[in-house]
Structure 1
Amino acid sequence: MQQDMQISGKKQMRAGAHSASAARVGRPPAVSVQAIVAAAIELGLDTVTFKQIADRLGVAQATLYRHVHNRDELVRLAAFQITLARRLPDGEHEHWSALAERYAESLFEAFVGEPQLIAELLRGRLGPHAEVDILEQFVEALGEHGFTINESASLFHSLGMLTIGAASGAIGLNASLQNGEPWHRLMRTTLAERDEDELPHARAVLTNIAESSLLIDWRGALRALLAGIAVSRGEKLPVRAPRAARSS
């Protein structure tokens, strides 16, 4: 009799444990991948740590690792989400060059805003998943202005190469300022180390460049690119409004 009661008790314990396990499996997780990625973006991908994210979400770090295996994976997921969020502006009633210019500026701002994206790009970790969505929009939008698919794709990739190069330079300039070694100071030191009659052309150019202009002069190269495409199409670019008068 006692043995039967012990067996019955063990069965009930196993059944209770099974029910508790089933309940745990059925519960929604305390945190999701989306919440982790959102917190990482908000905190800044360049320096964010799992501890910071865990503190922000009010969970243990071990909980995060159940959803994201390491920091590299987290950055890739966040980069993917940032890129997907960068949609083309509505340019139905604009000249095609205005749409292209605003796309380039949005790409520039995305990379400068999250320098870690450049590092991920250099490591080959920013795949084509988000790029194909943007490319699809871009080709469709320029098709309405008479561009062929190949012409649209060529402009798309040209904008990417120009803008990513400009963003890399801006990130480097920002880093030099943050490190207390501004570009102008380093340039003056470099020129002072050389004889006064050396580098006359470089001195004439570099001493007349405002440091802040290094962040925006890339748009001159962008404008030249678009002007060349316009000429090849038998067009002329519309006069551009001053930056202060244009909406951001």
Structure 2
Amino acid sequence: MRSHAATDPKSADDTRKGSRVGRPPRVSTQAIIAAAIEIGLEGVTLKRVADRLGVAVPTLYKHIRSRDELVRMAAFELTLKRRAPEREDLHWSEIATGYALSLYESFVAEPQLVHELMKGTMGPDIELDFLERFLDAMTRQGFSLDEGMQLHHAVAMLAIGASVAAISVISARALGAPMDQALREAAAQREAETLKHTRSVLDTYVNAESRDWLDSLRLMLEGIAARRGETLPSSLRPLSSPLPGHSPKS
């Protein structure tokens, strides 16, 4: 005997509609980035990401503008995760330095990220995850959440500023107009009696290396350590992070 449900048009219609009942899958920028990383950045497409998340491609455009933007953000996320220090035996200053280097090297490697940051289009998800990992590491080192947040701000501002300066130097060199040469030529064109202070330090100024920002970072960390009644570990001396094509100071 055939069941009543099989012959009831209303029941059959309800059964067909059942697959559409319920909330649509929730999608976030971070979920999209995670899916792209799982697929692999070389072969990732928006269609493959959408299929993995169970949504339509137009849904992705509510969170990202293009495949290129997605790849940049995913690459940034990968770099931060790979380079952020995770060893339990590290001193808090070594952890902070590792996070600073991960930010610096990520931005220098992908200058477009600086433009995204300046335009406010990078999105909050990566920043939130980075901050959470940093605060987790610092609280395990005896920092309060407020202290950890202040240290995060200081480290991030210094590292991002240094990366912008490094990108400027690299770009000028790539255009065949090294910044040190441009500064010397500009100074030479000024009246001899002008820039008397700047001329005195010009050689040092134009020969500044990319590692110099780490000296500033170390000075900041020394001050924080002093307030905590500590000294920095010898592993932070000396610091170096040369630009591509540059060698660290001896």
TM-score w.r.t. structure 2 length? 0.67
Q: Given the superposition, is the C-alpha separation of residues 191 and 225 from structure 1 closer, same or farther in structure 2, using an over 3 Å criterion?
A: same
Q: Which residue of 184, 194, 198 maps to 2:194?
A: 198
List gaps (5 residues or longer) in structure 1: 1-32, 42-49, 51-64
Structure 1 match to 2:215? 220
Q: Which residue of 118, 121, 136 maps to 2:117?
A: 121
C-alpha distance in structure 2 between counterparts of 1:157 and 1:130, whole Å: 15
Structure of greater Rg: 1
Structure 2 match to 1:56? none
Say yes or no: does 1:79 pair with 2:72: yes
Contact 1:170/1:214 (8 A) holds in 2: no
What are the Cα deviations for residues 136-182 of structure 1, in whole angstroms up to 9, with x where unaligned? 11111111211001111111111111111110010011000000110
Q: Given the superposition, is the C-alpha separation of residues 113 and 160 from structure 1 closer, same or farther in structure 2, using an over 3 Å criterion?
A: same
Contact 1:40/1:78 (8 A) holds in 2: no
Partner AA of 2:103 in structure 1: L
Q: Given the superposition, is the C-alpha separation of residues 228 and 242 from structure 1 closer, same or farther in structure 2, using an over 3 Å criterion?
A: closer
Q: Given the superposition, is the C-alpha separation of residues 40 and 162 from structure 1 closer, same or farther in structure 2, using an over 3 Å criterion?
A: farther
Structure 2 match to 1:233? 228
C-alpha distance in structure 2 between counterparts of 1:37 and 1:74, whole Å: 13
C-alpha distance in structure 1 between counterparts of 2:160 and 2:93, whole Å: 19
Contact 2:36/2:74 (8 A) holds in 1: no
Q: Which residue of 146, 151, 156 maps to 1:160?
A: 156
Q: Given the superposition, is the C-alpha separation of residues 75 and 152 from structure 1 closer, same or farther in structure 2, using an over 3 Å criterion?
A: farther
For the residue of structure 2 that corresponds to 1:38, the secondary structure is coil
* Deviation of the 1:101 alpha carbon: 0.4
* Deviation of the 1:203 alpha carbon: 1.2
Q: What does residue range 1-248 of structure 1 map to in structure 2 within 5 Å?
A: 34=36, 38-39=41-42, 72-85=65-78, 86-87=80-81, 88-209=84-205, 211=207, 213-239=208-234, 240-243=236-239
TM-score w.r.t. structure 1 length? 0.68
Alignment root-mean-square deviation, CA = 2.9
C-alpha distance in structure 2 between counterparts of 1:73 and 1:224, whole Å: 41
Contact 1:84/1:130 (8 A) holds in 2: yes
C-alpha distance in structure 1 between counterparts of 2:43 and 2:186, whole Å: 39
Contact 1:37/1:74 (8 A) holds in 2: no
Percent sequence identity is 35
Q: Number of residues paired by the alignment?
A: 190
C-alpha distance in structure 2 between counterparts of 1:40 and 1:215, whole Å: 34
Q: Given the superposition, is the C-alpha separation of residues 174 and 68 from structure 1 closer, same or farther in structure 2, using an over 3 Å criterion?
A: farther
List gaps (5 residues or longer) in structure 2: 1-34, 46-56, 241-250
Q: Given the superposition, is the C-alpha separation of residues 183 and 72 from structure 1 closer, same or farther in structure 2, using an over 3 Å criterion?
A: farther
Contact 1:89/1:99 (8 A) holds in 2: yes
* Deviation of the 1:73 alpha carbon: 2.9
C-alpha distance in structure 1 between counterparts of 2:233 and 2:172, whole Å: 37
